[in-house]
Structure 1
Amino acid sequence: MAATADGLAMAQKVETFVREVVAPFEKDPRCGEHGPADDLVQEMRALARAAGVLTPHILANGHHRPHQDVAVILRASGLSPLGPLAVNVAAPDEGNMYLLGKMASDEQKARFLEPLVSGRARSAFFMTEPASEGGAGSDPSMMLTTAVMDGNHWVINGRKAFITGLDGAGVGIIMAKTDAGATMFLVELPMEGIRIERVLDTIDSSMPGGHAVVSLENVRVPADQILGASGDGFKLAQVRLAPARLTHCMRWWGAAARAHEIASEYAVRRHAFGKQLIDHEGVGFMLAENMIDLKQAELMIDWCAAVLDTGVLGTQESSIAKVAVSEALYRVADRCVQVMGGTGVSRDTIVEQVFREIRAFRIYDGPTEVHKWSLAKAIKRETAKRIAN
């Protein structure tokens, strides 16, 4: 199986739009340290809507495209760090749309999903907690945020950290611990009791609203705003996280490919020691290694997308993809900076930002080491079983 003709056609439309319309906004002063301003996001989305490329991973009938189509579309969107935002396939919104599309009731879809699909609102996913307090990070079982029933409402208390896009978001999914276990709650934002303590200064700058530390103080959520049932939180998290790891890989593949294009053009135009820079073996070989890493990452993404479309993508496969692709794309971005020398660490091109964003990607949605540890545990179990038999 492969991407459909319709999916490939949409990917081409997205690529043309991102290269010709979105890329010029990369120098816009509204791109700040904590991400692009919301008025810039809405301006780009209006252009995407007019071009017929807004929310391209969702079909007109509301169904999610096959992930093999999503792979080519999101890779095209990632050719600019602003591309996923402009066409409405950025994290965390894309992952939240997928989760709500799969698990929300019809009433919840109308209230919480429709504003996201239409591009009118952004969203936030409240799971990670401050490490200094021993809260949930890569291990969600350590969750400290609580939800207690009071009449027909749940009352949520706790603190969250690294909540991407909260500043300016209109929809939130809060993960908290009830007597039944981890549970997800849907809320409209801003909301009484949810307070941004500060927006962290981080290495990346592509996501509007940045990454916030948040206090939840007696947040009252009506009982009908539970997603699924009380205690379903970990199960629902897996519905969201495995595909979200893969779509992260798709978007950042596009960014790395763009950086490679820029570095290759630089190496052909720049001369040193009597010849084109690319003709120096050290430079030419780095670009050749980029080509290899990009192709291997593309094949890994496409393989996982095909598996996901069968409905059997497991945590092992998504962990393998997350590690392999994030590490490969980081090597690509790092080589691009090195090939371009001083220009590579300047903001004269987008390469410097791509390097910063992909460095952060090695941590987000689970650091490389956590995924390797999980895979090592699986190897231990499977090997012990084989020995026993």
Structure 2
Amino acid sequence: MTPPSERAIEIGAQVERFVRDVVIDYERDPRQGAHGPSDALVQEMRDKARSAGVLTPHILADGDHLTQRETAYVLIRSGLSPLGPLACNTMAPDEGNMYLLGKVGSPTQKVHFLAPMVAGSARSAFFMTEPAADGGAGSDPSMMQTTARLDGNHWVINGRKAFITGADGAAVGIVMAKTDAGDGRMAATMFLVDLPDPAIRIERVLDTIDSSMPGGHSIVAIDNLRVPADAILGAPHDGFRYAQVRLSPARLSHCMRWLGACIRANEIATAYACTRHAFGKALVDHEGVGFMLADNLIDLKQAELMIDWCAGVLDTGDLGTAESSMAKVAVSEALMRIADRCVQVMGGTGVSGDTIVEQVFREIRAFRIYDGPTEVHKWSLAKKIKRDWRTHE
């Protein structure tokens, strides 16, 4: 594993101190519900993060971005509380959207859309996934039903989107729609929009197993949304390529944040096992419990190493599509085992809301699906195995 840089160590230490000393105290704040923390709570924490110098810590004052390895060191520490990434402005979907805008956005778009996001004053949403009932795009973006057609110097967008994280309350939207490239190929284009917009209507906010993201996850109808040509993010008809630019780093940063949450859950479970007694001794001294905590240490280290390896690949400039799929599968499954063991070690306390362990378990269960289910990533890797075999046959 590559040692972290001096600046990553410094920023990471500041972030960890802020999360442990300030953010953890908010975990029992009543301004949290089934659809995530309120925007008032988020802004209150971000004001404190700004004062502490840890707001959007992965993007430097000159606009430069930490390397992926450095980002991992920092984001793992922001994830030590489910509220940490929100407070520090390292949470999805904003973190991935900021990354994409930084890579693809025009200077004007960066001023109008990116700057408020980096400042922590605006939330964003990424409109790609569509309802299964409509036959729309989920893990297979080629099934996209939302369309954008050119009408003079404007584009008109129609369709429905599903599981759109943070749409309720977002100020910035990236809408992905199918477009006609005129060369017979299926193409898609990304559009930047100011929110709210009357043409983008939230049909309902879904009740889901997770509850860490403001605005929850929405079903959204897009009816005759008109946007000017300069609203296109990047080049027209290149939306699928830009999605790959965003998705690999974004799914890896999910791994970073939730690794931090599982580190904290394991700390809580360990403290419980070392102080709770049963059958004449501390729980940790019973092999059935001690071995679970030992397995947690192994899985935590393997997850850390997998993240570091994939981050190193991305830092070379490679898209890291296969590597990020491997990391997403390995890390999400390892974290699920860790969260499950933490609940089991703590027994009844583990399934209660008395600690964050129960929430971490729910969030990690959702993470195994978000940004591509385990099975889809394995299927994609299997196709690569077959392609590589044919190439070298």
What's the TM-score bracket when you normalise by the shorter of the two chains? over 0.9
> Is residue 2:344 matched to residue 1:343?
no
- Quick one: which amino acid aligns to residue 121 of structure 2? R
CA distance in 1, matches of 2:390, 2:58: 42
Per-residue CA deviation, residues 77-124 of structure 1 (Å, 9 max, x unaligned), is 000000000000000000000000000010010011001000000000
Whether 1:85 and 2:83 are equivalent positions in the alignment is no
Aligned to 1:249: 255
* In structure 2, distance between residues paired with 1:10 and 1:278: 34
| Alignment pair present for 1:156 and 2:138 | no
In the alignment, the residues of structure 2 paired with residue 100 and residue 336 of structure 1 have an alpha-carbon distance, to the nearest angstrom, of 38
**Deviation >6 Å, runs of 4+:** none
Residue 354 of structure 1 aligns to which amino acid in structure 2? V
CA apart distance, 1:385: 2.8
Cα distance in 1 between the residues matched to 2:216 and 2:120: 18
Partner of 1:217: 223
Q: Report the CA distance between 1:3 and its aligned residue.
A: 2.3
In structure 2, the residue matched to 1:205 is 211
Instruction: Extract unaligned runs of 5+ from structure 1.
Output: none
Residue identity in the other structure for 1:310: T
Deviates more, 1:113-122 or 1:299-308: 299-308
Partner residue in 1 for 2:184: none
1:192 Cα deviation after fit: 2.1
CA distance in 1 between counterparts of 2:4 and 2:137 reads 37
Q: Which runs of structure 2 are paired with 1:284-323 in the superposition (5 Å)?
A: 284-323=290-329
Q: Is the 8 A contact 1:304 1:313 kept in 2?
A: no
CA contact (8 A) 2:125 2:172 kept: yes
Match of 2:375 among 369, 372, 383: 369
Q: Is the 8 A contact 1:96 1:125 kept in 2?
A: yes
Q: Map 1:65-104 to 2 at 5 A.
A: 65-104=66-105
Q: How does 1:66-215 map to 2 (within 5 A)?
A: 66-180=67-181, 181-215=187-221
Whole-angstrom distance in 2 between the partners of 1:379 and 1:148: 38
- Given that residues 176 and 182 in structure 1 are in contact (C-alpha distance below 8 angstroms), is that contact kept between their aligned partners in structure 2? yes
CA distance in 2, matches of 1:2, 1:185: 39
Give the whole-Å Cα distance in 1 for the aligned partners of 2:373 and 2:171: 28
Between 222-231 and 264-273, report the one with greater CA deviation. 222-231
List runs of 5+ in structure 2 lacking aligned partners: 182-186
What is the root-mean-square deviation of aligned Cα atoms in Å?
A: 0.7
Provide the aligned length of Structure 1 versus Structure 2. Answer: 387
CA distance in 2, matches of 1:144, 1:230: 17
Deviation (angstroms), 1:312:
1.5
Deviation at 1:313, TM superposition (A): 4.0
Aligned mates of 2:296, 2:55 — CA distance in 1: 31
Residue type of the alignment partner of 2:134: E
Matched residues in 1 for 2:165 and 2:73: separation? 25
Matched, 1:333 2:320: no
CA distance in 1, matches of 2:360, 2:143: 32
Residue by residue over 1:12-39, the C-alpha shift from the partner in whole angstroms, topping out at 9 and shown as x without a partner, is 1100100110011110110111000000
State the partner residue of 2:27. Answer: 26
Q: Deviations over 1:221-253 (max 9, x none)?
A: 111010112110000000000000110000000
Residue 304 of structure 1, CA deviation: 1.1
Q: Does 1:269 align with 2:270?
A: no
State the alpha-carbon separation in 2 of the partners of residues 253 and 203 from structure 1: 19
SS where residue 185 of structure 1 aligns?
strand
Superposition TM-score, scaled by structure 2 size: 0.98
Q: How do 1:27-46 and structure 2 match up within 5 A?
A: 27-46=28-47
- The separation in 2 between residues aligned to 1:316 and 1:106, in whole angstroms, is 31
How far apart, CA to CA, are the structure 1 residues paired with 2:221 and 2:377? 29
